[in-house]
Amino acid sequence: MRTVLVSGAGIAGPTLAFWLARHGFQPTVVERATGQRSSGNPVDVRGPAVEVAAQMRILTTLREAATGVTAVRFVDRHGHRSSPVTPPSGSPGDFEILRTDLAAILHEATRHDAQFIFDDTVTAMAADEAGVDVTFERTAPRRFDLVVGADGLHSTVRRLAFGDHLIRHLGVYVGGLPLGEEVDHPGEVLLYNTPGRLIAVHPGRGEAMLGFFFRRAEVPDFDHRDPSQHRHLIIEAYGEDHSWRVPEFLTRVREAPDLYFDSVSEVDLPSWSRGRVTLLGDAAASVSLFGDGSTMAMVGAHTLAESLATHTPEAALRHYESEHRRRTDSRRRTARLSAALLIPRTAPGIATRNAAARLLSRA
Ligand SMILES: Cc1cc2nc3c(=O)[nH]c(=O)nc-3n(C[C@H](O)[C@H](O)[C@H](O)COP(=O)(O)OP(=O)(O)OC[C@H]3O[C@@H](n4cnc5c(N)ncnc54)[C@H](O)[C@@H]3O)c2cc1C
């Protein structure tokens, strides 16, 4: 087996292509976006992903691009800020980085060893025992020995190989956009909570970003590609709140040209592989916003490449899934707890969370 098509040049895709090339495979990466995707949300590179980055010799570059965030401040309705609270950290080597920066550095580390095709997508796949015939929107059809869907929560490869309706809404929606201003404290995130709602102001890397996280039952006709529906949902969730800078932030939402918005969801699949098609990263097991999504994307990619290099294809896919599913399953449980801590449902819940965070603060 030699040729591998990887759909998605986010976090998992380029990491997989890097390691496949190291093991003598010929990876091709197809990415729907024309360049890097606009979601600049912060992600964490933790524990085992730090180790993977070190082996790729990109750890220094990644650390230089880290956000440097070390603390949060709670903001009340009048705009009063608490003193900084430093959450207990994971391992000492962990760091936070903007997703776009991480994806760009991974792409740079891989681009000479893999073929990257931007502005294209898989449209059809016909698999047999030895490979997959793939049709693209723009590129001519090609046959690959293996296809890997690393194309995120709304994976096209997953839809084509496994069908629709395989993600489950976890009761939270998230929106994000650039705030376009510098912040007073570049190492701190501001958290403004009301019951079931959070607004986060993240310092980014010089230009702050706004995040809206709110609890809401599943919107029946939700469309992750419909910006006018997204604007409506955010304004509906926060429109009654006239405190702090909320009305000004909603004006930004109304005017934003590039609003990110999605449902916080988990993927529900009994198996990640079907013949010569497999899934990786958020496409396989979204551990979503509050967990270790990027860490799991990098570590899963490394595990998959190592498995393919040392087993027959069928055994490799089984080995990859049994190794990596254990990690993602345990992270999914933590992700639910993190959601409860970030978006308490009640005013007493917010007060208790803030008091506990101050108590546990390392500052
Ligand atoms: C607001 C927000 C906050 C987050 N916070 C954190 C955090 O604090 N910590 C953390 O670890 N994680 C966090 N995450 C999750 C993290 O971003 C993901 O888990 C991680 O990016 C998953 O990597 P991936 O490569 O699987 O998918 P992605 O990074 O989503 O990459 C998928 C790629 O596939 C491309 N694509 C999609 N469809 C197609 C197609 N049909 N054909 C070709 N390409 C396609 C996309 O354009 C994209 O480039 C957060 C996510 C969001 C949205």
pLDDT in tens, 268-285: 899 999 999 999 999 999
3-state class (DSSP) for residue 7: strand
State the pLDDT at residue 121. 98
Residue 36 clears pLDDT 60, i.e. is over it: no
Of the chain, the percentage scoring pLDDT greater than 90 comes to 82
Top mean pLDDT of 68-72, 312-316, 326-330 is at 312-316
Residue 198: the pLDDT is 98
Q: How far is the CA of 286 from the centre of ligand 1 (A)?
A: 9
31 in ligand 1 pocket by Cβ < 6 Å?
A: yes
Does ligand 1 come within 6 angstroms of the Cβ of 160? no
Residue 52: per-residue pLDDT: 98
Q: Among 36-45, 117-126, 225-234, 325-334, whose mean pLDDT is lowest?
A: 36-45
Rounded average pLDDT over 156-184? 92
Mean per-residue pLDDT, 298-304: 98
Instruction: Answer whether residue 37 shows pLDDT above 60.
Output: no
Ligand 1: atom nearest CA of 155 is 38
User: What is the C-alpha to C-alpha distance for residues 324 and 150, in angstroms, rounded to an integer?
Assistant: 15
Q: Residue 329: what pLDDT?
A: 87
Give residue 347 CA to ligand 1 midpoint distance, Å: 32
pLDDT at residue 336, as a whole number: 75
Q: Which DSSP state fits 91? A: S
**For ligand 1, is residue 265 a contact (CB within 6 Å)?**
no
Instruction: Find out whether 192 and 322 touch, Cβ atoms under 8 Å.
Output: no
Quote the crossing angle between the two packed helices 246-255 and 227-238, to the nearest 10°. 170
CB of 62 shorter than 6 A to ligand 1: no
Whole-number average pLDDT of the chain: 93
- Does ligand 1 lie within 6 Å of residue 8's CB atom? yes
For the entire predicted model, the pTM comes to 0.95
Residue whose CA lies nearest to ligand 1 atom number 9: 43
pLDDT given for residue 236 in this prediction: 98
Beta-strand relationship, 277-279 and 146-149: parallel
**What's at 107, amino acid-wise?**
H
> Tell me: the pLDDT tens digits for 201-219?
999 988 899 999 999 999 9
- How many residues comprise the chain? 363
Q: What is the mean pLDDT of residues 173-194?
A: 93
Number of H helices, E strands in the chain: 11, 17
CB atoms within 10 A of CB 34: 9
Reported confidence tier of residue 92, pLDDT bands at 50, 70, 90: confident
Tens of pLDDT, residue by residue over 18-32, are 999 999 999 999 999
pLDDT for the residue numbered 206: 85
Residue 90 above 70 pLDDT? no
| Backbone angles phi and psi of 343, in degrees to 5 | -130, 70
Closest CA to 35 of 104, 122, 121, 115: 104
Which ranges in the chain belong to alpha helices (H)? 12-22, 47-55, 59-64, 99-110, 156-162, 227-238, 246-255, 282-285, 293-310, 313-342, 347-360
- Give the Cα separation of 105 and 95 in Å (integer): 15
Q: 362: pLDDT confidence band, cut at 50, 70 and 90?
A: low
Find the mean pLDDT for residues 52-66: 97
Residue with the bigger pLDDT between 88 and 148: it is: 148
* Closest to 107 measured CA to CA, from 214, 27, 48, 24: 27
Specify the higher pLDDT residue, 138 or 35.
138
Q: Which of 30-39, 177-186, 190-199 has the lowest mean pLDDT?
A: 30-39
Classify residue 52 by burial, with Cβ atoms within 10 Å: 0-12, 13-18, 19+.
buried
Name the residue at shortest CA distance from atom 26 of ligand 1: 281
80 CA from centroid of ligand 1 (Å): 34
Ligand 1: residue whose CA is nearest its atom 21: 294
Amino acid symbol at 194: T
Dist. CA 11 → ligand 1 center (Å): 7
